[in-house]
Structure 1
Amino acid sequence: MTPFTPLQRLVVSVAILASFVTFLDGTVVTVALPAISRELGGGIVTQQWVVDSYLITLSALILLAGSVSDAYGRVTVMRIGLIAFGVASVAVALAPDPLVLIIARAAQGAAGALLVPSSLALITATMRGEVQSRAIGVWTAFTTGAQLIGPLMGGLFVDLLSWRFVFLINVLPIAVNLIMLGRLRLPQHVRTVRVDWVSGALCALGLGALVFALIEQERLGWASPAIWMPGIAGIILTAVFLIRQRRSDAPLLPLSLFRVRNFGWGNLSTLFVYAALSLNGFVIGVYLQQGPGLPATAAGMASLPITILMILLSSRAGAWAGKLGPRLFMTVGPLLMAVGALLLLTVGTDFDYWWQVLPAMIVLGLGLALTVAPLTSAILGAIDESRSGIASAVNNAVSRVAGLLVVALLSTIVGGALDLDGFHSAAWVTATLFAVGGVVSWIGIRRNPAEPAETDAVAPATPGPVR
C-alpha cells in the first residue's frame, strides 16, 4: 500500500475538516430543537424551518457548487465557503428570534454547499488510482462519523451549556482548516467550465417555494393564496429546471444517468429510504425530550446502537453484496428497518427505553448496515468511472431532498403536534417509506448493473458521498 505523500496528507486533512463541519451541523441540530423552541418560540413550525432552511440551500446548491468549484478553483471556493460558514454559524448562535435564526441557517446551508464538492475535488485533482480511492475512503469514514456523533455532541452542549453553543462547535475546526489551506500549494487553476447560474437559481427557488408551502399549510391552509401560490410557483420553477437540464449541453443534473437501470432504480430507493431515515432521526431526537422528558444527551445517545452496528457490519455487508449482488441486501435491509420502525409503536405513556426503544434501534441498525454499502455499490457501479463524480453528487442531492421534503411534511404526518399519537403516526409513515424502498429495490436492482449510457457528455463534476 503506497503511503500518502506530505501534500496528499495535507489535502486529505483539509478535505475532511471542510466537509466534517457541514455534515456535523446537519445532524447536531436535531437534539437542540426542543431547547430552541422553548427559548425562541414557534413550536413545531420553527423546528421544521431550522432543519429545512439549511437543507434547502444545501441540497439546491450542491450541484451548482460543483461547477463553481471547477470554474473558479477548489481552494478559492473552499476558502470562501469556510469563512461564510463560520460567519453564519456565529449568526445562528446569536440569533434573537426565529426569523434571524432561519435566515442564518439558510446561509449556513449555502456555505456548506460550497464545501462538500470543493473538498472532494481537491482529492480527485491531486490523486489518482488506488491512492485516490483510499483517500476518498478515509474522507467518507470521517464525514460519516460526523453524522453519527452529531446528536450525542449536540445533546452534551444543550445539557451542559446552551443550544447556542451547538452552532459554535464548527468555529475551531474552520479556523484550523483556514490555516492549513493557506499552506496548501497547488498549480494555478485554469477555468474549464461554464457555470449555469440560471439552473442553480431555478432549483433553489423551486425547492424553497415548495417547502414553504408544505410547512406553512398546516398553519394557513391550502386555500390561502400565501400557500397555493408559492406551491404552484415551486412546481413550475422545478419543471422549468428539469426541462432546462434536458436541453442543456452541460446540465447540473444530467437526466440521462437515470436511464441506467441500477442508477435510476437505486436513486428511487434512496428517495424513500433516506426520507424514512430523516423522519425517524428528527422524531426520535425531538420526541424523547418533549414526550418522556429525557435530557438532550440521553436523546442523542438513544440512536447509539445504530452507530455501533453500522461500524461493525457495514464493511462485511459490502463484501457480501460483492459476492451475492446488491439486490438482496437492498431489499432485506429496508424491510428490516420497516420492522424496526414498527417496534417504536410499543412506546407508551409509561416510557421504558430498554424495552420500547432499544429493540427498535437494534433492528434499525442491522437493516441500515445491510443497506448502505450495497446501495452505494449498486448506484455508482452502474455508471462509468469517468462519470462517477456527477453520479455520486446526484445521489447525494437525492438523499438530501428526500430529507428536506419529509421534514417539510412533518406537521401533516404527526397531526400538528409531536405527542405520543404523533410519534406513532410518524412510526407508521417511516415503516411504510422503508418498505416501499425495499420493494423498489427488489423490482429494479439487478446483480449486473446496466451498461453505462453512452449519452451526451456532461461537464465534469465533483464526487460526493452517497448518504
Structure 2
Amino acid sequence: MTRTPAHAPAHVHTRPPAHPRRWTALALICVAQFMLILDVTVVNVALPRIAVDLGLDRTSLTWVVTAYTLCFGGLMLLGGRLADALGARRTLLAGLAVFTAASLLSGLAVNAPMLIGGRIAQGVGAALLSPAALALVTTSFHGAERAKALGVWAAIGGTGSAVGVLLGGVLTDGPGWPWIFYVNVPVGLALLAALPTIVPASVRTPARLDLPGALLVTAATGSLIYGLVQAGDTGWASASALLPLLGSVLLYGIFAAVERASRAPLMDLRMLTLRPVVAGSFLMLVATALLIAFFFLGSVQLQKLHGFSALRTGLVFLPVAVTTAVGAHLGSRLLGLVGPRACATGGMAIAALGCLPPALVTPGTNAWTTLLPALSLAALGLGAVFVTATTTALGLIAPHEAGLASGIVNTFHEVGGSIGVALVSTLAAASIQGPAATTTGFTAAFTFCAALATTAALTAPFLIPPGNPRPTGGPHAH
C-alpha cells in the first residue's frame, strides 16, 4: 500500500476543489445558452407574420435574421476576452441582462428600426454570454466530468435548433409573434436571480481588449451583408450594392493591418495560414450558410407559396433540425473510419442532392412529400459537415492552439448564417416580394445552394489535410 507524503513538493500544483453545486450551475448555464441558440431559428418561422404586421419589406426582413447572427459572431471573440478581463461570471450576467432586455424590446417592436435594433442588442448580449458560459463549464469540471459536461453543452446545439422551429410556429399561431421574444424575459430574469447564488466568482486575468478589431470585423461583415441585400433590389452592378461590397473589402484589409500591429490582437491572423483551420473555417462557413438559408427560404416558401400556417411550417422544419443532429452523430462515428476528407465530401454531396427538389417545386407541389424529405436529406449531410469542420480545425493542429482555432471556427459559424441568408434573400427576391405564385426566385436560390454545396464537396478533398484528426473533446457552438 502506498503511503501519501505528509507534505507535497512545492512545485506540485494541486487542482482546486470541485464546486459542490457544479451540476446545478451547468444546468442553469445550459438554459442560458439554449435561449441564444433558440433565437437563431425561432424567428424564421414567424417572418411572414412579422412582415405583414409591421409592414416589412424583403430587406428589413433579411436584417431581422442577419442582425442577430452578425453581432453574435462578430463580437464573440471580444466577449471571450472580456470574460478573461472581467471574470466569466460577471460577463455572463452582463450578457444575460442585455439579451433579456433586448428580447423585451424586440417583442414590443412596432416598426423595422425598433425590431432590428432589438435583434442587434440580442446579438451583443449573446456575444458576451456564450464564451463566458463555455469558460465557466470548462473551469468548473475536470477529467472525465469535463468530457461529460462538454457533451451536455454540445447537445444543446441541435436541441435548440429543433425546439426553435417548433416553438416559433406554436407561439406565432398562438399568442402571436412577439412571444417568440417575450418567452426569453421570464427565463432570463429567473436566471439572473439564480446564477449569482450558484455559480462561483471567476478569477480575473489581466487582458488587453482589442475593441477596434472587434468593431472593424463586425462593420466589414455588416457592409458585406448590406451590399448583398441591396443587390436584390438594385442589381449587382448598382452603386448601392458595389460600394458596400468594396467597402467591406477595404474594412477587412484595415482589420488585418490593425490585428498585425496590435500587441493583443482579437484574432491571431497566423492561425488563418494553418491549413486545418482554413479548411475547418471554410466548411463551417458554407454549412451554416446553407442550413440557415434553408430555414429562411423554406419558411417564406411554405407560407407564401403553399399557404401553410406558422405552426405547420414549424412542424415541417422539426425533422430538418433533428436530422442535422443525427447527421452530426453519424459524422462523429464515421470520422475515425473514413477520415475527414470523405466525411466532408460525402456530407456536402448529400446536401447538394437535397437542394435540387426544392428548386423544382411549383405552387401545386405537396410540400410534405417534396420539401420536407429533401431538406431533411440536405440537413443530414450538413450535420456531418459541422462535426468534420470542428474536428478538422481542432484535431489536426497543436493542442496549445486549439483555443484560438475554436474561437475562429465559431466566429465563422455565426457569420456564415448572416451571409447565407443575405445571399439567398437577394436571389429569391422575385418570389419573396412578387406575387404569391412566383417560383422564379426560389428556384434561383435553391439552385445556388446546390451549386455551393457541390463546389464545397469538390474542394474539400484538396483543402483538408491528409490523416485522421485527434478527438477534440470540445463542444460545437450550435
Q: TM-score, normalised by structure 1?
A: 0.90
Q: Distance in 1 between matches of 2:254 and 2:310?
A: 43
Which of 91, 103, 118 is 2:117 aligned to? Answer: 103
Which of 418, 421, 426 is 2:440 aligned to? Answer: 421
Q: Distance in 1 between matches of 2:326 and 2:243?
A: 49
Are 2:287 and 2:382, in contact at CA under 8 Å, matched by a contact in 1?
A: no
User: Closer, same or farther in 2 for the Cα pair 1:339/1:225, shift >3 Å?
Assistant: closer
Are 1:10 and 1:180, in contact at CA under 8 Å, matched by a contact in 2?
A: no
Q: CA deviation at 1:270?
A: 2.2
- The Cα offsets for residues 419-449 of structure 1, whole Å up to 9 and x where unpaired, read as 4211111110111111122122121224426
Q: Distance in 2 between matches of 1:11 and 1:386?
A: 27
- The Cα offsets for residues 242-266 of structure 1, whole Å up to 9 and x where unpaired, read as 2222343432222222232222122
Confirm or deny that 1:465 pairs with 2:466. Answer: no
Alignment of 1:41-440 (within 5 A): 41-187=55-201, 189-219=203-233, 228-312=242-326, 314-418=328-432, 419-440=438-459
Q: CA deviation at 1:314?
A: 3.3
- The Cα offsets for residues 82-140 of structure 1, whole Å up to 9 and x where unpaired, read as 11111111111111111111111111111111111010011122223322222111011
Q: Distance in 2 between matches of 1:420 and 1:113?
A: 37
Which of 458, 463, 472 is 1:444 aligned to? Answer: 463
Q: CA deviation at 1:147?
A: 1.6
Q: CA deviation at 1:311?
A: 4.3
Per mean C-alpha deviation after superposition, the further-off stretch among 210-219 and 35-44 is: 210-219
Q: Distance in 2 between matches of 1:249 and 1:128?
A: 32
- Which has more radius of gyration? 2
Are 2:428 and 2:440, in contact at CA under 8 Å, matched by a contact in 1?
A: yes
Q: Provide the residue aligned with 1:23 in structure 2.
A: 37
Q: Distance in 2 between matches of 1:316 and 1:423?
A: 30
- The Cα offsets for residues 176-198 of structure 1, whole Å up to 9 and x where unpaired, read as 22122121353553332111111
User: Closer, same or farther in 2 for the Cα pair 1:392/1:158, shift >3 Å?
Assistant: same
- The Cα offsets for residues 352-377 of structure 1, whole Å up to 9 and x where unpaired, read as 12332233134224323433323322
- The Cα offsets for residues 184-219 of structure 1, whole Å up to 9 and x where unpaired, read as 353553332111111112122222233223323444
Paired residue type of 1:171? V
Output the aligned Cα RMSD.
2.3
Q: Distance in 1 between matches of 2:120 and 2:85?
A: 24
SS in 1 for 2:59: helix
Are 1:245 and 1:251, in contact at CA under 8 Å, matched by a contact in 2?
A: yes
Q: CA deviation at 1:412?
A: 2.8
Q: Distance in 2 between matches of 1:277 and 1:250?
A: 34
Paired residue type of 1:98? A
Q: What stretches of structure 2 of length at least 5 have no aligned partner? A: 1-17, 433-437
Q: CA deviation at 1:466?
A: 4.5
Q: Distance in 2 between matches of 1:36 and 1:5?
A: 45
Paired residue type of 1:86? T
SS in 2 for 1:351: coil
Q: TM-score, normalised by structure 2?
A: 0.88
- How many residue pairs get aligned? The number is 453
Paired residue type of 1:423? F
Per mean C-alpha deviation after superposition, the further-off stretch among 115-124 and 432-441 is: 432-441
Are 1:90 and 1:168, in contact at CA under 8 Å, matched by a contact in 2?
A: yes
User: Closer, same or farther in 2 for the Cα pair 1:374/1:222, shift >3 Å?
Assistant: closer
Are 2:291 and 2:382, in contact at CA under 8 Å, matched by a contact in 1?
A: no
Q: Distance in 2 between matches of 1:227 and 1:415?
A: 15
Paired residue type of 2:207? V
Paired residue type of 1:148? A
User: Closer, same or farther in 2 for the Cα pair 1:102/1:428, shift >3 Å?
Assistant: same
User: Closer, same or farther in 2 for the Cα pair 1:356/1:316, shift >3 Å?
Assistant: closer
Q: CA deviation at 1:303?
A: 2.4
Q: Distance in 2 between matches of 1:84 and 1:360?
A: 38
Are 2:82 and 2:91, in contact at CA under 8 Å, matched by a contact in 1?
A: yes
